[in-house]
Amino acid sequence: MMTETNPDADFDVLVKEANRVFMENFHPKTWFGRCIFLSWYCDVGTCDFCFRSTIKHKIKHASSAKRSLPSILTDAIIGKNLGWRIEFLTGGYRIFSFEEQIGICKKVSEVYGHKIWVNLGSIDKEGLLQMEQYVEGVCASIECVNPDLHRKVCPDKPIEPYSDMLRIAKEMGFKTSMTIVIGLGEKRFDFDALARFIEEHELDRITFYALKPVQGTRYTKSPEPEEYAWWIAKTRIRFPKLEIMAGLTPRRAEEYAGLLLRAGANALTKFPAVRRFGSAQAEEIERQAAEAGRTFLGSLTRLPDIDWAAEVEKLPFEEGLKARINQKIGEYTEKMRLGIQKTDK
Ligand code: SF4
C-alpha cells in the first residue's frame, strides 16, 4: 500500500533541521550584507534574466553608466556606520579599468578598516596578486550549475573561467564564494551538482538570490518562498559551516525574511537599504529576525547620531573628494530620514 506524504510537513521538518544545524554551528546572530555597485551597465549584457540585458542596446557609452567615486564611497561610509557588512563590491564587466577597480577596492577597504570581498568577473592570477592587499575574498557569479541551463541563461559567461579563478584564488589564500539564482528553471535534482561545486571549490560562502523577473526578459515569476528556502535549507544541512547569504526581493522581503533565516541563512542581502530605510518592510525584516531567534547586528531602521563630517575627515582621502562625499552623505541621510518619517506617520 502506498503511504501518502504531506509535502508541507516534509518542508517543515527540513527547515527545522536546517535551523538546528545552524544553531549548532553559529552564534544566533544575523546582519544585512550590502552589495556596493560600481555601474549599471555590463559589457557581457546577455544573461537572459538580468536587467542589464534589457538596457545594453540603450547605453551607447559605458562611461555614462558608471557610478561616481563619491557615491560609491558614501555607500561604504553609511554602510559601515549602520553596521551593514559589505557583501561585495560588484558591477558590470569592463566598465572601469582594472587599475580603477583596484583604486576603488583600496578606498572602500580604507573606509571599512579591513579587506573586502569583490565580485568583479573572472580575475586572473596577476589581477588577484594586485588585489590581495585590499581584498579578502572573491565571489564568482555562477547563477546556475546545471550546464545545459547555464549555456542557455548565460550564453556569454561560461563557468570555466570562474572555476579557474576560484581554484587559483583558494591556492593564493583568498576566501571564495559563488552566487546562485533560484527560479531560472533549475530542478531539485540539480542540488547534487551545486553541492559538488561547493565541495570541489571548498567555498567559504554562497549567496542565494530569488529570481526577480525583469520586464523584457522571458521570465514572469519569482520562485515561491518555500522553493527558495528549500535550496537554502538543503545547503545548510549539507554544509553546516558554510556562510550562507540570502537575497531578498524588495517586493516580498517582509514575507519571508524569517523563513530564510530559519532555513539556515546566516544573513540577508539585496534589500534597498537606503531607499527603504526605516520603512515598514525594514521594520518587518528586523522583527522576523528576532522571531527567528537572531540578534540583528546593525540597523535597517534607526539612524544613529553620527557626526558624518568627522567620519569623513578621518579618511585618508584628498580634500576635494572628501567635500564631494560630504555632499553625497547629506543627500543619502536626508532620504533615510524621510523614510523614517513616512513610517512614523
Ligand atoms: S554578466 Fe552579470 S551583470 Fe552582466 S548581464 Fe550577466 S548577470 Fe547581468
Distance 64 CA to ligand 1 centre (A): 18
What's residue 145's pLDDT? 96
Concatenating the DSSP letter of every residue in 41-56 gives --SS---TT-HHHHHG
Q: pLDDT confidence of 252, banded at 50, 70, 90?
A: confident
Distance 93 CA to ligand 1 centre (A): 8
Distance 300 CA to ligand 1 centre (A): 28
Instruction: Assign 231 to helix, strand or coil.
Output: helix
- Pocket probe for ligand 1: among 44, 89, 162, 184, the residue whose CB has the most ligand atoms within 8 Å is 44
Distance 153 CA to ligand 1 centre (A): 10
pLDDT at 53 over 50: yes
Q: Which residue has the cell 555632499?
A: 327
Give residue-wise pLDDT tens across range 270-289: 999 999 999 999 999 999 99
Cell reading at 29? 546572530
Specify whether the CB–CB gap between 199 and 206 falls below 8 A: no
Q: pLDDT confidence of 131, banded at 50, 70, 90?
A: very high
Q: Which residue's C-alpha comes closest to atom 8 of ligand 1?
A: 50
pLDDT at 251 over 80: no
Specify whether the CB–CB gap between 268 and 30 falls below 8 A: yes
- Pocket probe for ligand 1: among 56, 93, 94, 180, the residue whose CB has the most ligand atoms within 8 Å is 93
State which amino acid sits at residue 323. Answer: A
pLDDT at 246 over 50: yes
